[in-house]
Structure formats: structure tokens, C-alpha cells
Amino acid sequence: MLAQARTNWVILKTCLEERFVYRADFAFATLVRFLPIVTQIFLWGAIYAGAATKDTSDGATTLNSYTYHQMIAYYLLVMLARAFSSMPGLAGGIARDVRDGTVKKYLTQPIDMLGYLFWHRIAHKLVYYVIAAGPFALVFYLCRDYFPIGLDAATLVALVLSLLMGFLIGFLIESLIGLISFWFLEVSSLLFIFNMLNYFLSGHMIPLDWLGDVGQWVEFLPFRFLAYVPAAIALGKPGYALGAGLERMLLIETAWIVGLLVLNRITFARGVRRYGAFGG
């Protein structure tokens, strides 16, 4: 176990050093990703300006029980959740390694492929958080009046847990899609379909409670844990408060993590058995 921990530390350290080699490019790409936040704020402002429903006590315009301030708070929290759960390039990278034979290095060396990719992704996220912490803090500070007043310690812990588990679910889903390349060398079409469904069913595009009866079916899928659940916890939505269903929600999320992990291991083991590579 000590040797495995030492190996994981070396992998994490090496991947961090690799990320910092091109730190200027990485920082620029990270900061550019904040531009859609500004456009979304103006977009929702225009949508609410054209809405006619005003049913709150202060006369604020609402859409499906969300005021403009609540919608902006929801969107910013979703962006925070997506910073944890999004895994750009993971599935495509696995497929590329299988296609060009690079995956052989994980089969001939005492390094677990999924473990290596996990720590590599942690390194990526750590560097991203260091760079993005400033812009995130600035945006949340400027929009501080849009959020509920404070969070109790227990709810804050539940929020952090949901973000960390969202990272695990995002990693396991993307890696599973990549592992399908042992059977289908090109997974770009499958990845496109996944990203499209993920954008909608995770609550990234609109809150899942806007879907009505369709939202009941979404509850059986893992997508909501990638974006909607952390935002719902922070905003205190019905069913996402302590003692009102939050504990059950976190248990379901834990079950999805265990199930996806087992499925990843089975898929990798069977994929390796059918994998064939030639040359040096």
C-alpha cells in the first residue's frame, strides 16, 4: 500500500509539472472559458426582461418559480459544479491510445491505466482551480446579492461532498466511454451524443425542475449529479436539504460511483483480453 501511495504521488507530481510547462497557454484557455458566463448573464437578463409573470411579493419577474437573481445564482453554481465534473479530452484520449497502440505502455508496465488517468485528471483540476480561483471569486463577489444568505456548516459539507462525488462520476462516465474503444476504435459520435445529453440532462442548460414530468425520469440517471444537485443543495431547493431528502440523494450518488467503478473495471479487463497490437 505504501508503494502504491508513493507511485500515485510520483504520477501526480509529474502531471503537475507537465501542466505548468505550458502554464501561460493553460491560463489563457482557462480565463477565456469565463466569457460565456458574462454572455449568459446578459442572455437571462433579456429573457426575464421580456417575461410577463410577476408573482412574488416584491413584484419580481419569475419563470417557473425562479426569479432573475435566483437564475443567475443557479447558473453560477452550475458552472462551479461543471468545473469539477467536466472531463475534456479524457474519453477521446483513451480512444486515441487504444487506436494507435499507446495503451500498450499500461499493459507492459506495472501502472494501472485507470489509476494513472485518475491522478492525471486530478493534476489537471488542481492547476485549473489555482488559475480559476481568482475569476470565480470575482464573479461570485460581484453577484453576491443574488445568493441566499449564508450556508450552515452541514449544508456546506454536503455541497463539498456533492462536488467531489460529481468529479468522480464525471471521470468514471468519460473513462467508460473511452474504454468502449476496445470494441469500436472511433467513439467521437458516441461522445458527441453523450455531451449533448449531458448538457441537457445535467441541468446545465436549464434547471431540471423545469422539465416537469420528464424530470422524474432524469432522477434515475447520473447526469443530474454533474451540475444540478450541487446547485440545488446550495440554493436549498425542495428535497435537497438536510432531513428532507439530501441524505438519500448522496447515498444514490455514492451507489452510482460504486456501480460505475465496477463497470469500468469489468470493461477494462474484458477490453484488454480482446485487444491486439502489433509492432514494436
Single-letter amino acid, residue 134: G
Answer whether residue 91 shows pLDDT above 80: yes
69 domain residue, yes or no: yes
Task: List CB contacts of 228: < 8 A, sequence separation 6 or more.
Answer: 78, 81, 202, 203, 207, 208
Per-range mean pLDDT, top range of 6-10, 16-20, 47-51, 182-186 = 182-186
Ranges 6-15, 49-58, 70-79, 182-191: which has the least confidence: 49-58
Per-range mean pLDDT, top range of 10-24, 26-40, 72-86, 207-221 = 72-86
> Residue 164's pLDDT is what?
94
Q: Whole domain around residue 164: which residue ranges? A: 2-274
What is the sign, positive or negative, of the torsion defined by CA atoms of 89, 90, 92, 97?
positive
Answer whether residue 62 shows pLDDT above 90: no
Q: In whole angstroms, how far apart are CA 156 and each of 144, 250, 261?
A: 16, 13, 26
Crossing angle of the two packed helices 188-201 and 90-100, in degrees rounded to 10: 170
> Residue 45's pLDDT is what?
81
**At 23, is the pLDDT very low, low, confident or very high (cuts 50, 70, 90)?**
low
How many other CB atoms are found less than 10 A from the CB of residue 101?
A: 14
What pTM does this model have?
Answer: 0.87
Q: Which three cell numbers stand for residue 269?
A: 479487463
102 domain residue, yes or no: yes
279 domain residue, yes or no: no
In angstroms, the CA 167 to CA 125 distance is 10
Crossing angle of the two packed helices 246-274 and 113-142, in degrees rounded to 10: 140
HEC string of 189-256 equals HHHHHHHHHHHHHCCCCCCHHHCCCHHHHHCCCCHHHHCHHHHHHHHCCCCCCCCCCHHHHHHHHHHH
In angstroms, the CA 254 to CA 200 distance is 22
> Residue 36's pLDDT is what?
76
Answer whether residue 53 shows pLDDT above 70: no
> Residue 280's pLDDT is what?
47
207 domain residue, yes or no: yes
280 domain residue, yes or no: no
Total of domains in the chain: 1
Answer whether residue 176 shows pLDDT above 80: yes
Percent of the chain with pLDDT over 90: 21
Mean of pLDDT values over 241-269: 89
201 domain residue, yes or no: yes
In angstroms, the CA 178 to CA 184 distance is 10
119 domain residue, yes or no: yes
> Residue 214's pLDDT is what?
64
Mean of pLDDT values over 113-135: 85
Q: Which three cell numbers stand for residue 127?
A: 492547476
77 domain residue, yes or no: yes
Answer whether residue 115 shows pLDDT above 60: yes
Q: Which three cell numbers stand for residue 18?
A: 507537465
Q: In whole angstroms, how far apart are CA 223 and each of 87, 196, 211?
A: 13, 11, 14
Q: What is the DSSP string of the chain?
A: -HHHHHHHHHHHHHHHHHHHHTHHHHHHHHHHTTHHHHHHHHHHHHHHHT---B-STT--BEETTEEHHHHHHHHHHHHHHHHHH--TTHHHHHHHHHHHTTTHHHHHSS--HHHHHHHHHHHHHHHHHHHHHHHHHHHHHHTGGGS-S---HHHHHHHHHHHHHHHHHHHHHHHHHHHGGGT-S--HHHHHHHHHHHHHHTSSSS-GGGSTTHHHHHTTSSGGGGTHHHHHHHHT-TT-STTTTHHHHHHHHHHHHHHHHHHHHHHHHHHHHH------
